[in-house]
């Protein structure tokens, strides 16, 4: 039941932020100078059991490349409805993506994890480039990515 309520809170926070107990959270992703085209990034959340709970943002607009965001794609079956209204341009090498979203309070300190999958054309895909537990103590703490992300942090 607690998982169902938290999932509902996530969904509600993404679709009706003014009605849920939520807080503004700024997600900042800075890419390395990897020397390639713009990166596609899928930012999504999994619940305490590791099951997909919802998408937060998709950087990159061409759906034909979404399959390269392997973990996100597998979790959503590539369903574009998961990202309707929450997409933006791909992110260039050495550049930063900063977005502010209202996230449900129920996601923090409850076992939820924020993931980022990354993919760059003509380069290796990087599923689960970042996986960071959503905790109040983790806010403001930079996390290094595995391949394309120099640093990621969330601020509340």
CATH number of 2-155: 2.60.40
Q: Where are the domains of the chain?
A: 2-155
CA distances to 15, 69, 145 from 66, in Å: 22, 5, 19
How confident is the model at residue 8, as a pLDDT? 42
| CA geometry: angle 115, 10, 49, nearest 5 deg | 55
pTM of this prediction? 0.86
Q: Residues 19, 20, 26, 31: what is their CA dihedral angle, to the nearest 10 degrees?
A: -110
Helix and strand element counts for the chain (H, E): 2, 8
The pLDDT tens digits for 62-111 are 999 999 999 999 999 999 899 988 999 999 999 999 999 999 999 999 99
| C-alpha radius of gyration, the chain, whole number | 15
How confident is the model at residue 7, as a pLDDT? 44
Q: For residues 126 and 133, give the distance between their C-alpha atoms in angstroms, rounded to a whole number.
A: 19
């Amino acid at each position: 039941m607690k998982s169902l309520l938290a999932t509902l809170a996530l969904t509600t926070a993404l679709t009706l932020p003014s009605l849920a107990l939520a807080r503004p959270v700024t997600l900042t992703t800075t890419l390395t100078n990897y020397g390639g085209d713009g990166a596609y990034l899928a930012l999504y959340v999994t619940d305490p059991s590791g099951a997909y709970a919802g998408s937060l943002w998709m950087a990159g607009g061409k759906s034909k490349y979404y399959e390269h965001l392997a973990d996100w794609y597998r979790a959503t079956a590539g369903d574009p409805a998961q990202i309707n209204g929450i997409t933006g341009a791909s992110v260039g090498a050495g550049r930063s993506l900063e977005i502010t979203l209202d996230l449900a309070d129920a996601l923090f300190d409850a076992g939820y994890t924020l993931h980022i999958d990354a993919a760059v054309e003509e380069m290796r895909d990087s599923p689960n480039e970042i996986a960071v537990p959503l905790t109040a103590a983790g806010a403001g703490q930079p996390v290094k990515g595995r391949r394309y992300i120099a640093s990621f942090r969330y601020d509340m």
